[in-house]
Amino acid sequence: MLSPLVELRSVTCGYGDRIILRDVNLTVPRGAVVALMGTSGGGKTTVLRLIGRQLSPLSGQVLFDGQDLARLDRRGLHEARRRMGMLFQFGALFTDLSVFDNVAFPLREHTRLSEELIRDLVLMKLDAVGLRGARDLMPSQVSGGMARRVALARAIALDPDLILYDEPFAGLDPISMGVAARLIRALNDALGVTSIVVSHDVEETFLIADHVVFIANGGIAAQGTPEQMRASDDPLVRQFVDAAPDGPVRFHYPASPAEQDYGLEARR
Ligand SMILES: Nc1ncnc2c1ncn2[C@@H]1O[C@H](COP(=O)(O)OP(=O)(O)OP(=O)(O)O)[C@@H](O)[C@H]1O
């Protein structure tokens, strides 16, 4: 069996004194679309940061293609990151560059390919997301859904092995959401990559994911195929799948007791 492309082994991490994930083990098989879902603030984006090594674990290991990211030197880390395409929430296109130049940017920045070759590659990537014809438009002239697809073309410009998506459906209308979801799956399979998708959108995510991981309360609360998750009787999974407002997910960010904050105790 092939080793997983990404693996978290007993990872504990946090920001400052605050522990966000405790002793987490996660396996992302090659070629799979793995979805990270769960409570707001639960640590989904934190997992992406660990994989990009924008954040280092306090203990445990994060492996990318069998290599412990913490042991890589600058060059090794640069190489590893080059193999990861990242697509963050609102795509963040360079507003003063055309669609074409946005996609060409990483190729110009990280390779010494000729402009002629870059042109072919950019048009291929734009074609893969259905936007070859939009190459000359400026970001202000494309819709939100199209902008997301341009950002995706840019994220795959350097032929990554892994694509990390943070909330790729946020702010999209239902049709663009469906298009984006199918595109993530289609690109995953056509390019032979591995994808990790952080998302709140159960329908779209379950449609395309091979494996769903629910992150809550400092760890992995549940995981399995979308079918297993749909059939699960875990209250947390149910709350998500049924989009129920009440359940084990807490609405409040941890805080000192309200009485104390409002000074009611002192007034008594
Ligand atoms: N740079 C940071 N410094 C301090 N705390 C942070 C930082 N980034 C995130 N956090 C905290 O870590 C927790 C996990 O954040 P993270 O962004 O991973 O959550 P998430 O599951 O992606 O949430 P959401 O679905 O709301 O985007 C949150 O409580 C957040 O406040």
ipTM of the complex: 0.94
Q: Atom 7 of ligand 1 has which residue's CA nearest to it?
A: 15
How many angstroms separate the alpha carbon of residue 42 from the centre of ligand 1? 7
Distance 135 CA to ligand 1 centre (A): 35
193 vs 222: CA distance, rounded Å: 25
- Whole-number pLDDT of residue 175: 85
CA angle 66, 71, 72 (to 5 degrees): 85
What's the 47 CA to ligand 1 centre distance in angstroms?
A: 10
Pocket test for ligand 1, best of 20, 24, 88 (most atoms within 8 A of CB): 20
Instruction: Look at the pTM and tell me if it is higher than 0.90.
Output: no
Q: Output the CA 15–ligand 1 centroid distance in Å.
A: 9
Q: Show pLDDT as tens, one digit a residue, over the chain (268 residues).
A: 678 999 999 999 999 999 999 999 999 999 999 999 988 888 999 999 999 999 999 999 999 999 999 999 999 999 999 999 988 765 688 999 999 999 999 999 989 999 999 999 999 999 989 999 999 999 999 988 889 899 999 999 999 999 999 988 888 888 888 888 999 999 999 999 999 999 988 989 999 999 999 999 999 999 999 999 999 999 888 888 887 666 655 555 556 777 777 776 665 5
Q: What type of residue is 44?
A: K
Instruction: Give how far Cα 138 sits from Cα of 89, 93, 142, 170, 234, Å.
Output: 19, 10, 7, 21, 47
* pLDDT given at position 250: 56
16 backbone dihedrals φ, ψ, rounded to 5° = 60, -130
- Rounded alpha-carbon distances, angstroms, from residue 174 to 30, 51, 161, 170: 29, 30, 28, 10
Report the nearest-CA residue for atom 25 of ligand 1: 40
Residue 245 parent element (H or E): none
Q: Classify residue 160 by its DSSP letter.
A: -
Residues with CB under 6 A from ligand 1: 15, 20, 40-46
In order of their start, the domains of the chain are 4-262 (3.40.50.300)
Distance 28 CA to ligand 1 centre (A): 21
Residues contacting 72, CB < 8 A, separation 6+: 53, 79, 80
Copy the structure tokens of residue 10. 């007993």
Alpha helices in the chain (DSSP H): 44-51, 74-82, 99-110, 115-128, 144-155, 174-191, 202-208, 226-231, 235-241, 258-261, 264-267
Q: Which residues of 173-184 are buried (b: 16+ CB within 10 A; e: fewer)?
A: eeebbbbbbebb
* pLDDT attached to residue 90: 59
Token readout for 230 is 């749909």
Q: In this structure, are residues 52 and 164 in contact, taking their beta carbons and an 8 Å threshold?
A: yes
Beta bridge partner(s), residue 24: 11
Residue 240, pLDDT score: 85
Pocket test for ligand 1, best of 36, 39, 45 (most atoms within 8 A of CB): 45
**Do residues 22 and 33 touch, judged by C-beta distance below 8 A?**
no
| Two structure tokens written together for 41 | 């603030």
Measured by CA distance, the residue closest to atom 24 of ligand 1 is 40
Alpha carbons 223 and 22: distance in angstroms, whole number? 16
* Ligand 1 centre distance from Cα of residue 1 (Å): 34
The predicted structure's pLDDT at residue 246:
64
